[in-house]
Amino acid sequence: MQRCIFGGAAIAAVFASSVQAQEAPVELPPLILGTALRDDRNLLDTPVAATVIEGEELDRGQADTFDELVGDVPGVLIEGGPRGVAQEPNIRGFQDEQVVLRLDGGRLNFNRGHSGRFFFDPDIVQRVEIVRGGGSTLFGSGAIGGVIAVETKDAADLLRPGQTTGARLRFGYTDNGEIYGPSTTLYGDYGAFDVLAFLGGREAGANQDDGDGNPIARSEIDSANGLLKFGFEPNDEQRFELNLSYYEDDGFVPAAADSIATFDPITGNDSERSSEVFTYRLSWDWNPEGSDWIDLSVLVYGNTLEIQDDRVRDGRADFTEYDTVGFEIVNRSRFDIGVPVDLVYGVEAFRDEQTGTRNGAPRTQFPDAEATTYGVFAEATFGVSDRLDIIAGVRFDQYDRDVDDPTLEDADDSFFAPRIGFSYRPNDNWQIFGNVARAFRAPTLSELYNDGVHFPLGPVFTNNFVPTPDLRPEESTQIELGGRFEKTNMFRPGDSLRFSANAYYADVEDFIDTVVTPPDFDRFLNPAPGEFPTTEVGDTFQRNIDAELYGFEAELDYDAGNWFGGLAVSLPDGNAKEDGEELGSIPQPRLTATLGYRPTSEWTIGGRVTFAGHQNDFPETGSAGESYTVVDLFGSWSPSEGPLQNATFRAGIDNVFDEQYTIFPNELPQPGRSLKVSAAFEF
């Protein structure tokens, strides 16, 4: 894989020297990590593996789901298959709640097996920052796998120079599934005040088809999203912002929304699902002019999520509510102690409450419970020299898990999460970085307390949840070493090259692993003396095991003005340490290559090829991940003058050759050939 990367750079150099020079960017703007590091920092000065996606790169794929938005990032997999309501993050084999997900700064902590975590429309996303690897020093529990920070658009992102008010209309269509994606955005800047209003969604007219032309049953799902943003800047030093968001989706899906739908009238578990999610964010930023001690950010946030599942075959009604409230205070100070020091520090607290009912009665599969977490953290960057930074940080968290069931025990614990790293700049273009970090994740309410029937085994027998209130938190020691390179005028005037590569190793103690035991009908045929035969012939429970995850990742992006290209490589691996047992969460090795051409400043055309290798390391109850090759095409036209000025027209074909493939460890196949078109008009 490394030969592919460096070979790609060599090809880029030859191609660049043989193509007639065309006007191209003469500066390489720095990639800045902000939300995902609690401080604005140039990526070339950051000792972590990270990716920033924004602008044209986000828009190019005309994404209908979060997988289509960021699924090509090295080390990142969006699990769950093509149904957006089932998609969950996976970074390097750390899944779902092992990754912190933040929307406009506030945590999205909801987790319920197979139910998804991305409750927003891709069209409103302005920027995605992804930090891979343990991030508990800054973000506490859940950042054992990394952080995904999503930022939505605001008025400043959309207003053109000289504009004070504006509007954006977008119309999108995907033929596979007959998915319509209209949206309207209104925005304005009135001096001290700015505002944005967004309304968009996705309406599906049919099930999607896979590469073999077979319907992906129950993939016809509609969604809608509204967002209001109000900003107030009384002076140049302060900004207040209020974000209000509402999201809903509805459709028929299996009870496990990432699984195959059966349509069986006797054993089928398909449900009519509808969800509603309301989020709010209230923030205050204060950075007094001339002050090195105060650069303050205060955030209060909350999420209210409700999901209604009405089973088709018998009308059984399940209601799920999950509420989160939280706040954080973060300050950044700069001072000198013989060497310059940049210090980011703060406090954070959040509480999650869950409630589940079935036909109005308490539901043991999602019991009433609450989780509270308090954290305090600090991370300092010491400028040892003009070229060398040492980064040291520590965080302390205290968490409590309380369940409304006298037969189950509450849980509480605390954890220190230190980190030390370095960033060395041998020259202005290169960076070498490394870090050693401790990270942790407290067990979730579902992992501790789920009880009752998990799924039926035929018309009589069941697989049942087994509560595990003594489950221990996951703890890990993670080591990472990598390098980055950025340069303009690399092979020709005005071109730009970015390259990064990193290797990682994570030693995880008490990795929380889900076990689903196969049917054991001996329980029914041979009950214990004095006991009645039980129809429970299988269990689902959590266990702690020790595990190790390791791998290599690399990215290369080259832009020569009239053409551009990129490569992205992921080589993940891992296993349980005791007996080498497979984890079942390690993604396939993957190489993605992108090549594009700009015949004029108005036109862009290109393609992307994704190669995924076999994944033959899987648990006994799982199945292998087959290799696949998928080709996508994209193009856009943005007229610079005339009646269509300020409009952008896009067209693309995903999965050009109708490849039949499944992304490991998903159960559902991905969509087949999909034609996508969209038009966006700005006024």
Domain containing 408: what range?
Answer: 2-682
**SS3 assignment, position 10:** helix
**DSSP assigned state of 117:** S
Note the pLDDT of residue 23. Answer: 46
% residues pLDDT > 70 (the chain): 93
* Radius of gyration in angstroms for the set of CA atoms belonging to the chain, rounded to a whole number: 25
Query: In sequence order, which residues have a C-beta less than 8 Å from that of residue 475 and are 6 or more positions away?
Result: 415, 438, 439, 440, 508, 509, 510
Distance of alpha carbon 141 from alpha carbon 666, whole angstroms = 26
**What is residue 121's predicted lDDT score, i.e. its pLDDT?**
96
Is residue 657 within 8 A of residue 670, CB to CB? The reply is no
Q: 451: pLDDT confidence band, cut at 50, 70 and 90?
A: confident
Q: Please tell me which residue, 539 or 236, carries the higher pLDDT value.
A: 236
CA dihedral (437, 138, 449, 274) positive or negative = negative
| pLDDT 10s digits, 544-598 | 889 999 999 999 999 999 999 999 999 999 988 776 677 888 999 999 999 999 9
Reduced to 3 states, what is the DSSP secondary structure of residue 266?
coil
Going edge to edge, which strands form the sheet with 94-95?
76-79, 88-91, 94-95
pLDDT at 31: 76
pLDDT tens digits, one per residue of 386-400: 999 999 999 999 989
What confidence tier does 266 reach under pLDDT thresholds 50, 70, 90?
low
CB 83 within 8 Å of CB 257: yes
pLDDT the model gives residue 518: 78
How far apart CA 162 and CA 168 sit, in angstroms, is 16
**Among 102-111, 194-203, 621-630, which stretch is predicted with the lowest mean pLDDT?**
621-630
DSSP annotation string for 301-350: EEEEEEEEEEETTT--EEEEEEEEEEEEEEEEEEEESSSEEEEEEEEEEE
DSSP 500: E
Bigger pLDDT: 663 vs 541: 663
What is the pLDDT averaged over residues 320-333? Answer: 96
Count of structural domains within the chain: 1
Q: How confident is the model at residue 454 (pLDDT cuts 50, 70, 90)?
A: confident
**Share of residues in the chain with pLDDT > 90 (%):** 69
Which region holds residue 338: left if phi is over 0, alpha if psi is between -120 and 50, else beta?
A: left
Please state, rounded to an integer, the average pLDDT across all residues of the chain: 89
Give CA–CA dist 123/221, Å, rounded.
Answer: 17
pLDDT score of 10 more than 50 = no
Query: What local confidence, expressed as pLDDT, does residue 649 receive?
Result: 98
pLDDT at 532: 65
Mean pLDDT along residues 367-395: 94
**Separation CA 82–CA 89 (nearest Å):** 14
Among 104-108, 261-265, 288-292, the range scoring the smallest mean pLDDT is 261-265
Give the pLDDT score at 618.
75
Q: How confident is the model at residue 185 (pLDDT cuts 50, 70, 90)?
A: very high
d(CA 621, CA 584): 9
Q: Is the pLDDT of residue 2 over 90?
A: no
Q: Which two tokens stand for residue 641?
A: 């003058």
At position 538, the amino acid (one-letter code) is G
Output the pLDDT for position 267.
60
Residue 626, C-beta contacts closer than 8 angstroms, at least 6 positions apart: 614, 661, 662
Q: What is the mean pLDDT of residues 219-238?
A: 97
CATH code of residue 314: 2.40.170.20
Average pLDDT, integer, range 299-326: 94
Q: What is the pLDDT of residues 343-362, one digit of tens each?
A: 999 999 999 999 999 999 99
Cβ neighbours, 10 Å, residue 360: 8
* DSSP notation for 395-419: EEEEEEEEES-TTS--EEEEEE--E
Question: What confidence category does residue 486 fall into, taking pLDDT thresholds of 50, 70 and 90?
Answer: very high
Residue 20: pLDDT band by 50, 70, 90 thresholds? very low
